[in-house]
Amino acid sequence: MTEIQFKHVTKIFGRKVEAVKDLSFIIEDGEYVSLIGPSGCGKTTTLRLLAGTVLPTRGKIFFDNREVENLPIQERNLGFVFQHFAIFPHMNVWENIAYGPTVKGKKKSEIEELVEHSLSSVQMKERAESFPSELSAPELQKVALARVIAAEAKILLLDEPLGALDQKIREEFQFFLRDFVKKQGLTAIHVTHDQAEALSISDKVIVLNKGQLVQMGTPDDLIFSPTNLFTSFFVGESDFIEGYVLDDSSRFSKVRVGLESINVQNAGIHKGEHVVIAIRREFFDVRKADQNNENFLTGKVISDQFLGLFRRVKVLLKNQQIIEAKIHAKSPLKFEENETVHVIIDPARTRCFEFPKEGIKKSLEM
Amino acid sequence: MVSVRMENVTKKYGKVIGIKDLSLSINDGEYVAILGPTGAGKTTTMYILAGLISPSSGKVFFDDVDVTDVPAEDRQIGFVFEEYNLFPRMNVEKNILFGPIVKNLDLSVSRKVALELLDLLNIKGKEKNYPNEISGGQKQRVALARAIVSNAKLLIMDDPLRALDAKIRDILQVELRKLVKDLGLTCIHATHDTHEAMRVADRILVFKDGQIVQDGTPEEIYNNPNSIYVADFLGENVSFRGEIFEEKEERYLLTENNLKLKVQTNYLTGTKVVALVPLELIDVYPKEESNSLNYDNIISGKLIKSKLIGEFFELILEISGMKIKAYELIGKKNIPTTPNSDIVIAMDKDDFRIFELENEKVINNEKSIESEEDESKRTKKLVE
Amino acid sequence: MFKTDKENIELFFRKTRLKIETFLSRNSVLLIGKIITISIFILIIIGPIFYLLLQIFLHWGEIYSKVFNDPILGNEAFLMMLRSIGLSLKVAGIVTFFDLIVGIPIAWVLARYNFKGKKILDTLVDMPMAVPTSALGFSIYLFWGTNNGISRLLNSNVGLVSQGTLLIILTHIAFTFPYVTRSIKGIIADLDINIEKAAKTLGAPPFTIARMISLPMVKESLLAGTVLAFTRSLGETGATLIVSGVYQTAPVVIVSWMKGLKIPTTAFLSLILIIISLLLLTAVRLFARKVGLPWNKVFPRFERKISSKKVARTRDSLSITLFFIFVFIPALFVVIYLFQWWNKSPFSGDHEAGMIYQVFQAPDKKIDSIVHAFVTSVEVALIVTIVNLVIATPMALLISKTKNDKLKGLLDTLIDIPLIIPSSALGFSIFFLWGSNGLHLLSPGFMMIIVSHISFTYAYCVRPLVGAFDAIPTMYDEAAFAFGSSRLTAFRTVTMPFLKSGLIAVSIMTFTRSMSETGATIIVQGVERTIPVLLVDFFEASTFPAAAFAASLLILISFLSLLLLRYVSKER
């Protein structure tokens, strides 16, 4: 178990490609943390900085208060698990798992013990003599995990570990992986492009964009309390409504949207400010306009599309913005095209951010 | 802007059968999705429509003209591949104009169309970039523009979004449908992803083992899957086994663990059936709310644990000795999340998809898909 | 008790080895290793060429008088150089042109179609590359230039094609066209066929696709193969000695001047040849990416026509037929000849004209010199192979792993030098550096043969090994490092097993190359003889059946090597 700390880490490739910019975070002992973000956001570089295959241009990295940013990978006591397994093809399962302790110069009897223990930790005892070519993808990944245990690594780096598994098996393996990491008491850092995977497997998630940390928090935090526009855009699906703050005196502030106004959660916004209201699509509710509704925006239905898991109702708001509400598949209300509706907004489930100078679309470019 | 028909088409690769006696028709301007696991014959169908492979028997018609023997280059189609297949040595502009060049179209017109498309697809300014300099999503947008600019009347897409990240996939699904509809193209789109098929298509053809097993609008297929295979492919289900009986003009299912569920079915008393309920149709409420609910079936149980997965809560429940899963959209109020709390689950009678047991063995969906995965690898190789 | 002892001993050895490897993996130690690697490279490969350049510069006065202003011959030497270089360039140009016409379709056929006998055709196409050129040249001469081969079929008493330019061209096509075929065959096979499918759905007929999509993707390799074919033709000695007659190409002139010990003129001509080759190499390196296959214009009707299956089939079968008539049959004709002349002349029935008499019974006992040359050849080839593996592997690793792009590019280019400069010129520069005119360390003979062979086979070793290193995903190294392996330990435990088949393949290649080299060997051999040179001697002494014996022996050896190579690469 190791605590990991990044202090103002920057990595520049070549002359000016800033892969990671002033990155600081702390990962606690035994935590399972995922790194997510669009491709090119710096998540792989961050992992490599942890591994030591890439050295930081500036900044410090600590493992348990020990400065490690200049230590080579060999001296960091890590386990590395890759998307494509990296199980040595010319060694059988037993030899692969024994690799770590062997090159660390352990006694033979000790090696045997470690390998036995590691094999049973992934329930692969009966495959000890098999060669990698005879194993399935999940089995290979289990061997990779066992190899880490045998090497007595405390930090587990996972680079898209489920990327090469079939969709159906992937979910099952997620549970196995998390369970395994917790049982073995490892500190795990998991890079993935799949946000659903990150949200369901981790204790905390770090969202990166353009080399910078955007938000770090529990899956709940990211879904229910995004602290910025990018997180609310990247995690799940949200719509963004432009407005101006009319009143900031109470817990819920009044924001003018077009010619209407709605109450939103007040989190440090001020009267007169140009803001953007972020709302997850499943938090919208769409009602018939002839009912007594509160806190809504008026619009016209563009489409009411059935999708199995839920329905998507697209509404053109009066301010010409289009929003899309995700509604329970069984919701009894059906909407006609061009029907005038009320889009109900629950103030408690809104997030309000300063309107980006460069415009919403530009600021969210991935 | 063309109608498409396949008549009794069979394709064999040696002994392996790609598609079997397949007939389908697509109307002018229709957006049709072909849905099925890998290995169900989707790619084969696409390739035959495109003229990239020829069928072992059967005929293909475009606008009622037999094109079975017309090579791909003369079919006036646009094909979008899963792996983009952009020309690596040409920049975006040259890629897009390849079709017009080899077809000797008026380049000034094509260039204008291309620019408009690039604008529409949000990739303006990338004209001089090479394929290895743009992201996956942008590549597929370029591939789409390339297919359309070559004067395609029929757009054929073979799992075009498979290689992309979930986020981009979401965005592109919307863009795709909009573009196809705006341009009035006829479109056929193969996918293994139910959600994608429902989101883009007017009509879905569900494939299994080289044959069409169901044909209908997204809503029809979701509400009335005609087999366990289709129901399982559409998503995760809870299954109840039991026997149908009738009481006061209503039909019920008496399950093996003695639950009495009100269902809607034509099966008569005594029929042994399996009833599937999609996980998202199982509504879960705190026990206290049970009195205010208006459902055909309300069963009490216990919440074992809950977990947030993206836009859903996954709830693990226990009802009369049975462990089941349910999905609740996070937008819904009052989703019980405290472990060990008492809850009720609520289901309406039309939430059940009921299949007679004798007709079809209950198949384990996972297993069947896995084995087909292997076969699909084989077919893909053979196609190539 | 006994078991623990054993365990302790094992542990001690393992720990010691790990410690040594860790020590050797230190950056400072690795740096020394890199310096040594590069030094050896410079000393053996680049050194001779620079020394030659330097000496010519330093002794310009002497050279000028010998070349341009000889008291007896005037500038006759220079004129001869110009003539020979002109001939060489003309031959190389024509040869390369035909190589492309025949080579590209054959590469396409081999890469794309599946048919019975494909593997055999594939092996046959590589044959002329493996067969020593002197044997090849002799065989082709027998076929076209004497009354034994084609003339016999045509019932004529004299050879159809006499020694001279045409015969040189025929010979050179035979051993150079595989360079074109090989350079693109693998890449065409690896091209993503789906990209071509995409082009097809956009309306392009097959010929247009090949021209606009596929060939541009193999452009660099095709260009590299073409340059290799060109420079090989430009620099070939062994075969040309046999088929040229009085029409001397530049490398042949080098050999004959060297025999006459005209050092200054030889040095000058060698340098010119080296410079021409280097210019070509540089041009290709610099411009390969920029050179485009021209005309984006499309001629729909024309291209559609020549895309028709009929035209394609005709083209394919024609190129394969040409291959058999002009390459394969002439190249192996010597074996038939050997049987014709086994123990008597097929024309006069004279026993003393037969192979048996000439090789085994004649008073000069040719069999002794054959055996001796054979032993020399094998010894040289073995030593060269072993030495090269030792010095080429670190170099390949260095090129593959270095992150310094400039160093990588530079080494990458320099490696190719011995590949493209004429072997006789290379041989001469080695003679010049190591011999009495230079370091005075070696005199022509066994050792100098070895040094020269190491020099020109070096690239054959490094190139494929760089490829082999590049092909190993870095994740294996990283996984090993993460568990605490030092770099050397990771190399031994993880990288080496991946390389095994690559190393074997490289060894066979190097061995075969060394066995069959003529041009450089003639320059540096002193009194030693290798089989290919002996073959030339026999030819010059007009004892054809004995030469045929030596040639067949060489062909047999290279054929076996080729089979072995195929077997090894299939294992992979």
Tokens found for residue C443: 């005199």
Distances (CA, A) of B107 to A295, B101, B111, B352, C536: 53, 7, 6, 57, 63
Does residue A106 lie in a domain region? yes
Dist. CA C111–CA C128, nearest whole Å: 19
What domains are there in chain C, each with its CATH number? 18-58+355-572 (1.10.3720.10), 60-340 (1.10.3720.10)
A229 found inside a domain: no
Q: Is A75 on the interface with C (CB under 8 A)?
A: yes
CB A165 within 8 A of CB A138: yes
- In this predicted structure, the answer to whether residue B359 has a pLDDT above a threshold of 70 is no
Domain B234-359 is found in CATH 3.30.930.10: no
B145 confidence band (pLDDT: 50, 70, 90): very high
Tell me what pLDDT residue B370 has. Answer: 41
What's the gap in Å between the CA of A88 and the closest CA on chain C?
7
C213 close to B (CB below 8 A): yes
Residues A24 and A157 in one domain: yes
| B138 CB-near residues (< 8 Å, 6+ apart) | B123, B126
Q: A82 with A146, same domain?
A: yes
pLDDT at A14 over 60: yes
Q: Count the neighbouring beta carbons within 10 Å of the beta carbon of residue B193.
A: 17
Cross-chain Cβ contact B370/A166 below 8 Å: yes
Flag whether residue B369 sits within 8 Å of chain A, measured between CB atoms: yes
Considering the domain architecture, whether residues A215 and A259 belong to the same structural domain is answered as no
pLDDT at position B294 over 50: yes
Q: Do A171 and A260 have their domain in common?
A: no
pLDDT in tens, B7-34: 999 999 888 889 999 999 999 999 999 9
A326 at the B interface (CB within 8 A)? yes
A249 residue type, one letter: S
Average pLDDT over residues B45-60: 94
- Distance from the B92 Cα atom to the nearest Cα atom in chain A, whole angstroms: 19
Q: Is residue B153 within 8 Å of B141, Cβ to Cβ?
A: no
The torsion angles phi and psi of C317, rounded to 5 degrees, stand at -70, -30
Identify from B98, B158, B162 which residue to disrupt to test chain C contact, counting C C-beta atoms within 10 A and taking the largest count: B98
**SS3 annotation, C426-473:** HHHHHHHHHCCCCCCCCCCCHHHHHHHHHHHHHHHHHHHHHHHHHHCC
A204 and A244 inside one domain = no
Sorted by sequence, the CB contacts under 8 Å of residue C342 that are 6+ apart come out as C354, C355, C356
Instruction: Report the residue from B195, B330, B369 with minimal CB separation from A308.
Output: B195
Q: Is the pLDDT of residue B106 over 90?
A: no
Residues in chain C within 8 Å Cβ distance of B74: 203
B305 contact A CB<8A: no
Find tokens 């935090």 and name the residue.
A221
Domain that holds residue A303: 238-355
Q: With an 8 Å Cβ cutoff, are B74 and C202 in contact?
A: no
Q: Could you identify the residue written with the tokens 């604008």?
A: B119
Looking at the DSSP assignment, which residues form a beta bridge with residue B324? B317
- Domain spans of chain B, in order of start: 4-228, 234-359
Alpha-carbon dihedral sign for residues C31, C32, C37, C43: positive
3-state DSSP assignment of residue A99? helix
Please report whether residue A207 resides in a domain.
yes
**Phi, psi of B231, deg, nearest 5:** -60, -45
Contact call for C478 and A80, based on CB within 8 A: yes
Give the gap in angstroms from C-alpha C458 to the nearest C-alpha of chain A.
Answer: 29
Neighbours of C153 (CB within 10 A): 8
Q: Is B54 on the interface with C (CB under 8 A)?
A: no
A residues 35-74 near B, CB within 8 Å? Answer: 38-40
B77 contacts on C by Cβ (under 8 Å) = 201
Give all strands of the β-sheet with A310-317 in edge-to-edge order.
Answer: A285-288, A340-344, A296-306, A310-317, A322-328
- Reported as a pLDDT band with limits 50, 70 and 90, residue A38 is confident
Residues C216, B89: C-beta atoms closer than 8 Å: yes
Taking contacts as CB-CB distances below 8 angstroms, the residues of chain B near A38 are: 165, 167
A204-209 and A32-36: which strand pairing? parallel
Indicate whether A319 and A244 sit together in one domain: yes
pLDDT in tens, B89-98: 899 999 999 9
Q: Which CATH architecture has domain B4-228?
A: 3-Layer(aba) Sandwich (3.40)
The whole-angstrom distance between B97's CA and the closest CA on chain C is 10
| pLDDT tens column, A293-333 | 889 999 999 988 877 778 889 999 998 899 999 988 777 77
CATH number at residue A323: 2.40.50.140
Q: What is the pLDDT along chain C (572 residues), one digit of tens a residue?
A: 566 788 888 889 999 999 999 999 888 999 999 999 999 988 888 888 888 888 888 888 888 888 887 777 778 888 888 999 999 999 999 999 999 988 888 998 888 888 888 888 888 888 887 788 899 999 999 998 888 878 777 777 777 777 888 999 999 998 898 889 988 888 888 888 899 999 999 988 888 888 888 888 888 888 888 888 998 899 888 889 888 887 888 988 988 888 888 888 888 898 898 898 888 888 877 776 666 555 566 677 777 777 778 888 888 888 888 888 888 888 889 999 998 888 888 888 888 888 888 888 888 888 999 999 999 999 999 999 999 999 999 999 999 988 888 888 888 888 888 888 888 888 888 988 888 888 888 888 899 999 999 988 898 889 889 988 998 998 999 999 999 899 999 999 999 998 888 888 888 888 988 988 888 898 888 888 999 999 999 998 888 899 999 999 988 988 888 888 778 776 54
Residues A55 and A123 in one domain: yes
Q: What is the pLDDT of residues B224-272, one digit of tens each?
A: 999 999 999 888 899 999 999 998 888 999 998 889 999 998 888 989 9
C-alpha span between C232 and B266 (Å, rounded): 84
Same domain, A217 and A258: no
Pairing of strands A296-306, A310-317: antiparallel
CB within 8 Å: C484 and A82: no
B363: confidence class by pLDDT, cuts 50, 70, 90: very low
Nearest Cα of chain A lies from the Cα of C288 at a distance, in angstroms, of 25
Please name which of C251, C232, C234, C227 lies closest in space to residue C175, comparing C-alpha atoms. C232
Question: Which pLDDT score, from 0 to 100, does residue C566 have?
Answer: 77
State CA A249 to chain mean position distance: 35
Torsion angles phi and psi, residue B266, rounded to 5: -100, -5
Q: What is the pLDDT of residue C228?
A: 86
Give the end of a domain, one of A196, A224, A252: A224
CATH code of A145's domain: 3.40.50.300
| Banded pLDDT at A114 (limits 50, 70, 90) | very high
* pLDDT for position A58: 93
Distance from CA of A43 to the nearest CA of B (A): 15
Nearest by CB to residue B310, choosing from A39, A168, A236, is A236
SS3 label, residue A81: strand
Chain segment B112-143, per-residue pLDDT in tens: 999 988 888 888 888 899 998 888 888 999 99
Q: A364 lies in a domain? A: no
pLDDT score at B251: 92
Query: In whole angstroms, what is the distance from residue B86 CA to residue B144 CA?
Result: 10
Q: Which residue has the tokens 């003369």?
A: B74
C299: distance to nearest CA of chain B, Å? 8
Q: Is residue A362 included in any domain, yes or no? A: no
Chain B residues in contact with A312 by the CB 8 A cut-off are: 199
- State residue B364's pLDDT score: 42
Separation in Å, CA B150 to CA A307, B111, B147, B275: 32, 11, 6, 49
Of B166, B195, B278, the CB nearest to A195: B166
Which residues on B lie below 8 Å from C194 (Cβ)?
81, 83, 85, 384
**Cα A141 from Cα A83, distance rounded (Å):** 8
If asked whether residues A126 and A199 sit together in one domain, one would say yes
Residue B374 has pLDDT above 80, yes or no: no
Give helix C496-516 / helix C133-140 axis angle, nearest 10°. Answer: 50
Q: Is B327 on the interface with A (CB under 8 A)?
A: yes
Mean pLDDT (chain A) is 90
Is B331 at the interface with chain A, CB within 8 A? yes
Structure tokens belonging to residue C401: 């792993």
pLDDT at A190: 96
pLDDT at C571: 57
Phi, psi angles (nearest 5°) of residue B252: -130, 160
Phi, psi at residue B312, to the nearest 5°? -120, 150
Q: Does C18 touch chain B (CB under 8 A)?
A: no
| Domains identified in chain A, total number | 2
Specify whether A203 is located in the same domain as A290.
Answer: no
Q: What would the mean pLDDT of B370-378 be, rounded to a whole number?
A: 46
Query: With an 8 Å Cβ cutoff, are C484 and A75 in contact?
Result: yes
Q: How far is C497 from chain A (nearest CA, A)?
A: 7
Cβ of B136 under 8 Å from any chain A Cβ? Answer: yes
Cβ-Cβ pairs closer than 8 A, A with B, add up to 94
Residue of A44, A76, A97, A103 to mutate when probing chain C, most C C-beta within 10 A:
A103
How many residue pairs from chains B and C have C-beta atoms closer than 8 A?
A: 77
Same domain, A129 and A155: yes
Taking an 8 Å cut-off on Cβ atoms, the answer to whether B88 and C198 are in contact is no
A74 to C479: CB separation less than 8 angstroms, yes or no: no
Question: Do A195 and A302 reside in the same domain of the chain?
Answer: no
CB–CB of B384 and C194 under 8 A? yes
How far the first Cα of chain B sits from its last, in Å, is 29
Q: How far apart are CA A103 and CA C485, in angstroms?
A: 6
Task: State the pLDDT at residue C297.
Answer: 66
Beta pairing, strands B31-35 & B203-208: parallel
Asked if the Cβ–Cβ distance from B331 to A237 is below 8 Å, we say no
Domain endpoint, select from A224, A248, A275: A224
Q: How far is C396 from chain A (nearest CA, A)?
A: 22
Could you tell me the pLDDT band of residue B373, with boundaries at 50, 70 and 90? very low
